[in-house]
Chain A
Amino acid sequence: MAETPLPETRRCIYFFLYDRSKVQEEGDLTRAGICYFYPEDTPLDQQELLCGQLAGVSRCVSELSSSPVRLLRLRKSKYAVHMRDNFLWVLSCVADIPDVSVCAFLDQLIDLFCFYNGPVRQSYQLHSQEELALRWACYLSNLQGGSTELHHIFSCLKTIDSTHIDPLLLLKAALILQACQRCPLVLAGCVLYRGRVVSTQMAPELTVKVMVHETETYSQDHRLRANGVTSGVSPPSSTVTTTVFLTPSELHTLHCPPVDNSCRSNGGPQPLARPRKSRLSRTLSDTPIADQDPAELDPAHFPPLSYQTLPSSPRSSLSDESCFSPSPSLVSTPLRSSLVSRSEGGTPPESRDRGLPNGTLPSKVTGGSVGGSSGVSVQEGERLDLESETKNPSENPEVCSLLNGHRSEQDDFSHQLSESLAKLGPVNDQSSGRSGQGGETERNQAKESKETGGEAARDCGAHSEASLQPMLLYQHRVRGLVLALLVEPSFNTHPSAKDEVYHSSLASLNGLEAHLRTTSPGTPGAQGPYTFAHYDCIQNTLTTNVCGRSAGSQDRPFVKATALLHSHFSHSDTLQEAIVRNAGCAVYGTRTAAQETYFLQQGASSRNSGIPNAQDSAFSLPSKARHRLLKHGVNLL
């Protein structure tokens, strides 16, 4: 377990899962409630201290504020918190990782566990703590291991370096997946090579989950090989199927792939049982049908509402969050009223969140949250040199204009929402139509309210977890190459499904593996006098010329500035461009709904007088970035 994370890439300091239901009476020991604690060699006293304190604080705050706690910030450390059912997860990270990344990390971790083990309560009934401790450790090490700090900041997928392989091979991988989809009971899949994504048909957050199993089996395989079990005449290839658990929304997306990938994680939770028919290409032939499908006219499908600009929330497990559903009255709060109260800080978070159509809130930049970036700039106020086109300061006009754009849809939506709620009755039904949207808003709400909590639905987690659907994960490995497919549960019992998939993909997998193996890893290339990072929020991928797992000392300021800017972008929806600088260098950041780009020009003499000045070299950064990055396929025009 412990071999993957190297000390310097460890981003998790503490992680624990605490079961409050085990500690009810005065006499109950705190240790009885500790299901898992990382690092495992922490003295029990210390574990109890931390768990006891944080559980108390979280509960207290959430009850006072009636909304869930997402982040607790102490003087020197911060803790991402997730409360569901009687469980409390807490994760503490190194300080210079942005808030959004810490929260995303914790969410990923919990999602991973549920993906492979099903509902948490049930897992702890079925398996021993020791057994599950191994799994937590495994997921932790998987999420931490093998990627750079930049990857951690964005919580992004590890992809194959596409600059060094023939694009036709990417096409080949995509065709393999399409061929598999023509086979019965296959939903979607991905092709991985040595722990990196070559091609995927699934949403990024689902791909991440699938990859964990791949990495596990790969390292096992590797160990075997290293121990003298050499490859025989034929390439070692094997297939495995394991049970995995999908959230209703994930399942829904798989059953009817969205026209627009950006709508991921927003599908209505009820799985639409589409008749499966054979087809040539899912992407082509099925899309128009999906478009017209009346069953899909679900409130959760309004594009402006579902569009996520927060890369930090690549979560599709709506169910996880639905335990903090606000009461129906709050959900159906007329939008206008929430608008009125928006400008004031004291707005209750529930109503604030209804505000923006795109699901995020243009809150004020909270600079304190990204402390510790000493290398970059000193004063909070000076951190952001906003470009003239960056409309920032007054929020209200913006909000209004945004809302005007979508008013009819909003009204429509809130109407439908209240209607469906009325039908559903009490808050935490297995309300399919609503919980999707509920999860959405809660997520934002969670982002917003740092230290709040909700008594509202303490015990609804059971519902949401019970809705996890068991499916099968099929894996076919050819040396370092893995084909991973999510398939219907009946796949194993179907007379020919497995054979069909196997035979339709074997030759191509053999070939692709041979191609990838003989592709030279490629030299890092001439790095150029600049550093950049380009994050694709939709595919959740990162392109960068910062190489290696440990960024060199010259890259440190860049990584820190990127973390800082990413954090600001995630907090402020209207922020589009920013320059962050210190005496030595300046980093330019720009983002759209679909991407974020960060750029640093090296060796530029900084003509920086300290006051805004048209001659300032920092102002030439945007145009430099545009030109330089074109050849990396990044278009900022």
Chain B
Amino acid sequence: MSSKSSLLKVILLGDGGVGKSSLMNRYVSNKFDTHLFHTIGVEFLNKELEVDGRLVTLQIWDTAGQERFRSLRTPFYRGSDCCLLTFSVDDSQSFLNLNHWRKEFAYYADVREPESFPFVILGNKVDVTERQVTTEEAQRWCHENGGHPYFETSAKNAINVAEAFEEVVRSVLASEDRPEHMLPSDTVDLCRKPRSRTRCC
């Protein structure tokens, strides 16, 4: 079973312009484009990787950060195995909005226990010199909100991006280390229910 590739759906959320699309492109295609359009709705790319001897296919869903695209993106939250909350270290508002994003995700993804759901926090654009959010602030927030892993990344300079996504895989596998999660993609939705039920009993 472990030799079989399993599909993990992870979703990038965060304010518009914090670099979600760039992070995805950097990780999957190792490319960076300063002139990306706004993402409309959702987009996704697949990436196969091996973490701790296990082969997984990471399906990374990139979403539109702007409020006006909300109705387009929210239907795709369901079935996510992990949520990457992204902010930009040079924009304190995007950091303050993390709470909002977490709530929106929990609501639309229908997560029963947001506390135990694997979130990973990314502070992007560390290549920018004028920071508005310190590492300590971010780490404190992660600690207070369920002890989520925190990564400071730069899609532009390819700093920490791969590490962050690998951590995503680890945290998903750690929380879902059960054979039923090795089923192909189409059944991911169904798998979620039994898991949360076993958890709450």
* B40 within 8 Å of A (CB atoms): yes
**B24 — which chain A residues lie within 8 A by C-beta?**
507
**A511 — which chain B residues lie within 8 A by C-beta?**
39, 41-44, 62
Within 8 A of A (CB), among B6-29: 7, 21, 24-25, 29
> Considering only CB atoms, which chain A residue lies closest to B4 in the complex?
A233
Main secondary structure of the interface of B (DSSP, over half): mixed
Q: Which of B25, B35, B75 contacts A507 (CB 8 A)?
A: B25
Q: In the complex the two chains form, what is the Cα distance from A510 to B28 in whole Å? A: 14
Q: Indicate if the CB atoms of A175 and B40 lie closer than 8 Å.
A: yes
> Considering only CB atoms, which chain B residue lies closest to A507 in the complex?
B43
* A172 within 8 Å of B (CB atoms): yes
Number of interface residues of B (CB under 8 A): 27
Known: A166-B72, A507-B24, A515-B72. A233 touches B43 (CB 8 A): no
Q: Indicate if the CB atoms of B57 and A507 lie closer than 8 Å.
A: no
Within 8 A of A (CB), among B53-105: 57, 62, 69, 71-72, 75-76
* A503 within 8 Å of B (CB atoms): yes
**Which of B21, B45, B69, B75 has most A Cβ within 10 Å?**
B45
Q: Which of B5, B31, B41, B44 contacts A168 (CB 8 A)?
A: B41
**B62 — which chain A residues lie within 8 A by C-beta?**
507, 511
Q: Indicate if the CB atoms of B44 and A233 lie closer than 8 Å.
A: no
**B76 — which chain A residues lie within 8 A by C-beta?**
514
Q: In the complex the two chains form, what is the Cα distance from A508 to B25 in whole Å? A: 11
Interface footprint category on A:
20 to 34
Q: In the complex the two chains form, what is the Cα distance from A234 to B60 in whole Å? A: 12
**A233 — which chain B residues lie within 8 A by C-beta?**
5, 7, 46, 57, 184-185
Known: A168-B69, A507-B62. A518 touches B41 (CB 8 A): no
Q: Indicate if the CB atoms of A514 and B184 lie closer than 8 Å.
A: no
Q: Indicate if the CB atoms of B40 and A506 lie closer than 8 Å.
A: no
Q: In the complex the two chains form, what is the Cα distance from A101 to B71 in whole Å? A: 42
**A259 — which chain B residues lie within 8 A by C-beta?**
none
Known: A233-B184, A514-B76. A506 touches B41 (CB 8 A): no
Tell me the smallest distance from the CB of A479 to a CB of chain B, in Å.
Answer: 13
* A179 within 8 Å of B (CB atoms): yes
Q: Indicate if the CB atoms of B46 and A169 lie closer than 8 Å.
A: no
* A280 within 8 Å of B (CB atoms): yes
Q: Indicate if the CB atoms of A169 and B7 lie closer than 8 Å.
A: no
Q: Which of B33, B37, B46 contacts A234 (CB 8 A)?
A: B46
Known: A166-B72, A233-B57, A234-B57. A507 touches B44 (CB 8 A): yes
Tell me the smallest distance from the CB of A306 to a CB of chain B, in Å.
Answer: 33
Q: In the complex the two chains form, what is the Cα distance from A503 to B5 in whole Å? A: 23
> Considering only CB atoms, which chain A residue lies closest to B38 in the complex?
A175
Q: Indicate if the CB atoms of A506 and B184 lie closer than 8 Å.
A: no
* A171 within 8 Å of B (CB atoms): yes
Q: Indicate if the CB atoms of A171 and B40 lie closer than 8 Å.
A: yes
Supply 8 further A-B pairs (C-beta < 8 A) apart from A168-B40, A511-B62, A515-B72.
Answer: A172-B40, A178-B37, A233-B46, A506-B45, A507-B24, A507-B25, A511-B44, A515-B41
Show 27 A/B contacts (Cβ-Cβ < 8 Å), sorted by A.
A168-B40, A168-B72, A171-B40, A172-B40, A175-B37, A175-B40, A178-B37, A179-B37, A233-B5, A233-B7, A503-B25, A503-B29, A504-B33, A506-B45, A507-B21, A507-B45, A510-B43, A510-B44, A511-B42, A511-B43, A511-B44, A512-B41, A514-B42, A514-B44, A514-B76, A515-B72, A518-B75
